[in-house]
Amino acid sequence: MHTLQRILGTTLLVLLVACGSGTGATGVDDVQSDSADVQIAPQDTQDAVPGTDAVLDVTDVAQPKDIWIDSDVPPIDVPPADIADIQADIAPDIAVDIGVDTGDAFVAENCNGGFGGNGMCTNGLVCWAAPCPKCGMMPQGWCLPPLENGACYDYTTCDGGACYNATPMNGVSGWCLPAIATAGQCWGNASSLTPDCVSGSTCEGQFVCPPMGACPMADKPGTCTASPEQKGKVYLWERSGGIVSPGETVTVTWVNYTGASVFLPGCATYNIQTTSDYTTWKDLGPGVMCAWEGVAVEVPAGGYVNTLSWTAPNNGIGNYRFHGSYSVGCTPGKALSQANCTGSSEIDSDTFFVGMVP
């Protein structure tokens, strides 16, 4: 991981201990000397001479840095807002202390022979392929510093989780976070081809602890939050990214950005439709056959609900979408036919393609 990134995380934790109290710290930089915040090993002092550039070489990026804090100091309770204030306040000071020239940049070299590269990397760099599932062609590769244990450039090395805070083309790795288990929760700034929030939304309220030392609180996912344009709308969201392989299973999610609960049928919450001309849609029926309508599914205001997933047919190449309906003003805990709902609306998902792609 990049030297500055590690120093920022460590200095923040030391300052939290120095500034904290039973009522929480404030976002004020009252430290007399930032040089006391971080300890740097002698072999790394070439990067810490004031007024010089922090050299970005393979050993700096790829190897754990000799930077530490006092592990005997217990974590303290600090409001996340204060943490953000403190980090923003100390970052310029740290940049001066270690002599960082923000104009320096890592240049990722092409290593994929199909894109003009020679398939090789020099100076200890490794060839990393940018994830491109279902793109119909070999992904492009770039020479990047090798990963430390637990680090990542993309979600493919995170065992189903998210890769947080990585900027591969700058040679900066991130670290893996657990997969989101609850619809509507999210990791912001995570690289993933299957986002946690419907397009246009933001992830608010998360807290992510850097993977080093003590931390004032545990990692906590954020909540998907509607943009101003999305407020008042309901979405039937298929999480395929627009292309689905035959036999692939697609997660289907209802998103309610209105100010009150909406209610879905208790069994099949959508039908599958297909088209050959994008004008006339053929209804293929629900993804499941129901013997009873079931208790209506409530999607609370601002909520996300994953419903029955759908598996694309192995021989059904073409364009598809999901079609469903939701009701409002219903009595919770009852089937829709008995819930005295005051109204209903129909909705379509985005169109997606099922085809033979890698």
Structure tokens, 160: 């189903």
Q: Give Cβ neighbours of residue 298 (< 8 Å, ≥ 6 apart).
A: 261, 262, 263, 264, 332
Q: Whose CA is closest to 357, among 219, 241, 253? A: 241
36-45, 169-178, 329-338 — which is least confidently predicted? 36-45
Structure tokens, 315: 């021989």
The CATH number for 234-354, chosen from 3.30.300, 2.60.40, 1.10.530, 1.10.10, is: 2.60.40
Read off φ and ψ for residue 128, nearest 5 degrees: -105, 130
**Ramachandran quadrant class, 116 (left: phi over 0; alpha: psi -120 to 50; beta: rest):** left
Q: For the residues 16-25, what does the mean pLDDT come to? A: 37
pLDDT at 225: 97
Residue labelled with tokens 């930077």: 67
Could you say which DSSP state residue 167 is in?
Answer: B
**CA angle 263–266–271, rounded 5-degree value:** 90
Confidence band, pLDDT 50/70/90 cuts, at residue 139: confident
**Which carries the bigger pLDDT value, residue 160 or residue 304?**
304
Q: For the residues 329-337, what does the mean pLDDT come to? A: 97
Encode pLDDT of 209-246 as tens digits. 887 767 888 899 999 999 999 999 999 999 888 889 89
* Residue 123 pLDDT exceeds 90: no
* Residue 95 pLDDT exceeds 70: no
* Residue 178 pLDDT exceeds 80: yes
Confidence band, pLDDT 50/70/90 cuts, at residue 325: very high
Neighbours of 249 (CB within 10 A): 12
Cβ contact 1:148 at 8 Å = yes
pLDDT at 85: 58
**Which carries the bigger pLDDT value, residue 168 or residue 139?**
168
pLDDT at 79: 58
Confidence band, pLDDT 50/70/90 cuts, at residue 129: confident
Tell me if residue 13 falls in helix, strand or coil. Answer: helix
Distance of CA 305 to the CA centre of its chain: 18
Sign of CA dihedral 131, 132, 137, 141: negative
* Entry field: residues in the chain: 358
Boundaries of every domain in the chain: 3-97, 105-146, 160-225, 234-354
Q: How far apart are CA 243 and CA 352, in angstroms?
A: 6
pLDDT at 90: 40
**CA angle 146–148–153, rounded 5-degree value:** 65
User: Radius of gyration of the chain from Cα atoms?
Assistant: 25
pLDDT at 36: 39
pLDDT at 242: 87
Neighbours of 159 (CB within 10 A): 10
